[in-house]
Amino acid sequence: MSAQPKDIRVDDRHPDVEDTLETVRRGLGAKIKKLPSRLFYDERGSALFEAICEQPEYYLTRTEIAIMRDHAGDIADVIGPDVRLVEYGSGSGIKTRMLLEHLETPVAYVPVEISRTALMESVAELAMRFPNVPMQPVCADFTQPLRLPVASRSPRRTVIYFPGSTIGNFEAKDAVKILRQMRAEMSDGGGVLIGVDLKKDVAEIEAAYNDEAGITRDFTLNMLVRLNREIGTDFDVDAFRHRARYNVLAGRIETSLVSTKQQVVHVRDEAFSFRADEAMHVEYSCKYSLDDFAQMANKAGLSVAQVWMDEDRRFSVQYLVRSTPVVA
């Protein structure tokens, strides 16, 4: 792990063990078992996700990076000078670096990431590359309302950066909720810069979540390894398998951990039964048409100001601004 720069203080609001315990109890006790995808991201989970991004089947990352390489200057011009850039789920920071290289006199960079290790490795590298940009890392679950750190000088605007098509991991009502949260957290005149994966050939989409090397399988199963270690569950990891299928009607990949046998899992003093072939949902990956996403953004009081895409229209980077007052 890279050394943490001495002048950077981390605002640590990582969910505690009791919070995770309650989340798992609630998810396993539901009629249809479900665990949130944020539980993927311990240190190993973050490393496995970075490995997924390098797989030949995983078109999303390389396509978004290509869009940023071709259009980062134009994007920076739209965002304007003296911005406070707040990034949800900062990850490795590759795309952020491409953006920061073009921004004019940014006031601060505020990465919000649930994996402390991934957060500090990314910040340490960016701090070396951009010594004049104040770094204000926040270790937290970005799906919860944030108290943004106070910048050393007043920004002209706040822009929320949400790359990687992570918005697709939320069901429609939850995606609207998080877009509304972004709308509230950005300043007047601010915006949201967001990665949105687009609908395309089903075989290409499914391959991205079922890579031949099995990295995505390991990533999904690592959630159980993490829970066993951190909260003392007794998942038999070998008795679950990864499954990712595209639901054409819903327009999304649905990823599950499927029990290969009848079994019981314990969470402290509570027992939860699994049937053979019972699926526990762990992630959605929604795909959109441009109209689909524009309509969803509008429900959050946002409008699409500009869209950048690759030549094959496989992926998009979109800039959203406030439109109408949010309807309750």
The 3-state secondary structure of the chain reads CCCCCCCCCCEECCCCHHHHHHHHHHHHHCCCCECCHHHHCCHHHHHHHHHHCCCCCCHHHHHHHHHHHHHHHHHHHHHCCCEEEEEECCCCCHHHHHHHCCCCCCCEEEEEECCHHHHHHHHHHHHHHCCCCCECCEECCCCCCCCCCCCCCCCCEEEEEECCCHHHHCCHHHHHHHHHHHHHHCCCCCEEEEEEEECCCHHHHHHHCCCCCCHHHHHHHHHHHHHHHHHCCCCCHHHEEEEEEEECCCCEEEEEEEECCCEEEEECCEEEEECCCCEEEEEEEECECHHHHHHHHHHCCEEEEEEEECCCCCEEEEEEEECCCCCC
pLDDT tens, 242-281? 999 999 999 999 999 999 999 999 999 999 999 999 999 9
The pLDDT of residue 49: 92
Q: What percent of the chain has pLDDT over 90?
A: 79
Instruction: Examine residue 272 and state whether it is found in any structural domain, yes or no.
Output: no
The pLDDT of residue 122: 86
Instruction: Examine residue 308 and state whether it is found in any structural domain, yes or no.
Output: yes
Instruction: Examine residue 252 and state whether it is found in any structural domain, yes or no.
Output: no
Residue 93 — very low, low, confident or very high, per pLDDT cuts 50/70/90? Answer: confident
Instruction: Examine residue 279 and state whether it is found in any structural domain, yes or no.
Output: no
Instruction: Examine residue 9 and state whether it is found in any structural domain, yes or no.
Output: yes
User: In this structure, are residues 210 and 216 in contact, taking their beta carbons and an 8 Å threshold?
Assistant: yes
Residue 292 — very low, low, confident or very high, per pLDDT cuts 50/70/90? Answer: very high
The pLDDT of residue 107: 96
Residue 2 — very low, low, confident or very high, per pLDDT cuts 50/70/90? Answer: very low
The pLDDT of residue 56: 97
Q: Which domain holds residue 122?
A: 1-235+287-328
Instruction: Examine residue 245 and state whether it is found in any structural domain, yes or no.
Output: no
Q: Which residue has the higher pLDDT, 215 or 115?
A: 215
Provide the pairing of β-strand 138-139 with 108-113. Answer: parallel
The pLDDT of residue 14: 56
Report d(CA 172, CA 251) in Å as an integer: 11
The pLDDT of residue 7: 55
| 29 pLDDT above the threshold of 80 | yes
Residue 42 — very low, low, confident or very high, per pLDDT cuts 50/70/90? Answer: confident
Please report, for the domain that includes residue 65, its CATH number.
Answer: 3.40.50.150
Instruction: Examine residue 92 and state whether it is found in any structural domain, yes or no.
Output: yes
Instruction: Examine residue 1 and state whether it is found in any structural domain, yes or no.
Output: yes
Q: Could you identify the residue written with the tokens 């990034």?
A: 87
Neighbour tally for 126: CB within 10 Å: 21
User: How many domains does the structure of the chain reveal?
Assistant: 1
The pLDDT of residue 8: 59
Residue 327 — very low, low, confident or very high, per pLDDT cuts 50/70/90? Answer: low
Q: At what angle do helices 215-231 and 43-52 cross, to 10 degrees?
A: 170
In Å, how far from its chain's centre is CA 196? 11
| 105 pLDDT above the threshold of 80 | yes
Neighbour tally for 180: CB within 10 Å: 16
